[in-house]
Amino acid sequence: MVSKISSILGKKKKALEEEGLPSHPLALLSLLIGGFVELLMAKWYFRNAKKLGSMVLTKNRPKVEIYGNVEIADGVKFWSKFDRCKIFVKKNASLTIGKDTFINGVHISASTSITIGHNVDIGPYTIIMDNDFHAIGNQDASEIKKGITIEDHVWIAMRCIIMKGVTIGKGAVVASGSVVTKDVAPYTVVGGVPAKFLKNINTPL
């Protein structure tokens, strides 16, 4: 933990210097205190998670309701800068998030299974739902639900909707405002409503 904090402070110091901002001990102390608060907040908000890795941080106030199985790996960040992160996991459902994933102002609703890999970036106002709540035209019918898998190194831009039953392949990019209703192949860019193939990504991440 100490070495991890030392590494983070070193990176913060370098970043401040590159931006021409103060990097003296008091500035670094302020960052350290802020990071400690974000760490404590994550432990509180995700206190009902089955597994919570080290250095999981939350900024501002997410809304978290956990009744199922939640596992969050090391270094995951939940930011609520543009919109409030809202995470709801029903009883008997699961949510798994891989290491160093960044989630900013995202709404996640898990009724069966949502798996998010490591080093995934998800932009604000995005909705990820593995369910429809109820059938079309019949609010009393049972919800339709199918699991979602988002593989490693995926980038989902802002204002996207990820629908039930979808797998987004490793290294894929989902353009802003897209509605993903079908699987996305690894190392491709998709966009539109519904999302369609735009191009391949030549360099694997």
- pLDDT tens, position by position, 132-184: 864 445 455 566 789 999 999 999 999 999 999 999 999 999 999 999 999 99
Parallel, antiparallel, or unpaired for β 155-156 and 121-122?
parallel
CATH fold of 49-200 reads UDP N-Acetylglucosamine Acyltransferase; domain 1 (2.160.10)
> Considering the chain, what percentage of its residues have pLDDT values greater than 90?
67
Which pLDDT score, from 0 to 100, does residue 77 have? 96
Averaged pLDDT, 194-199: 96
Q: Which residues, in sequence order, are CB contacts of 60 under 8 Å at separation 6+?
A: 79, 80, 81, 84
Give residue 180's region: left, alpha or beta (phi > 0; psi -120 to 50): beta
175 three-state secondary structure? coil
Which pLDDT score, from 0 to 100, does residue 113 have? 97
91 neighbors 83 (Cβ within 8 angstroms): no
Q: Which residues are catalytic?
A: 118
* Of 2-16, 91-105, 163-177, minimum mean pLDDT range: 2-16
Averaged pLDDT, 114-131: 97
Report the side by side order of strands in the sheet with 179-180.
63-66, 86-89, 107-110, 127-129, 161-162, 179-180
Which pLDDT score, from 0 to 100, does residue 126 have? 98
- E strand intervals along the chain: 51-52, 57-59, 63-66, 69-72, 77-79, 86-89, 94-97, 102-104, 107-110, 113-116, 121-122, 127-129, 148-150, 155-156, 161-162, 167-168, 173-174, 179-180, 188-191, 196-200
* Residue appearing with tokens 């080290």: 54
Which pLDDT score, from 0 to 100, does residue 1 have? 54
Locate the domains of the chain by residue range: 1-45, 49-200
CB atoms within 10 A of CB 195: 24
> Considering the chain, what percentage of its residues have pLDDT values greater than 70?
76
In this prediction the pTM is 0.80
Which candidate, 103, 56, 102, 69, places its Cα nearest to that of 84?
103
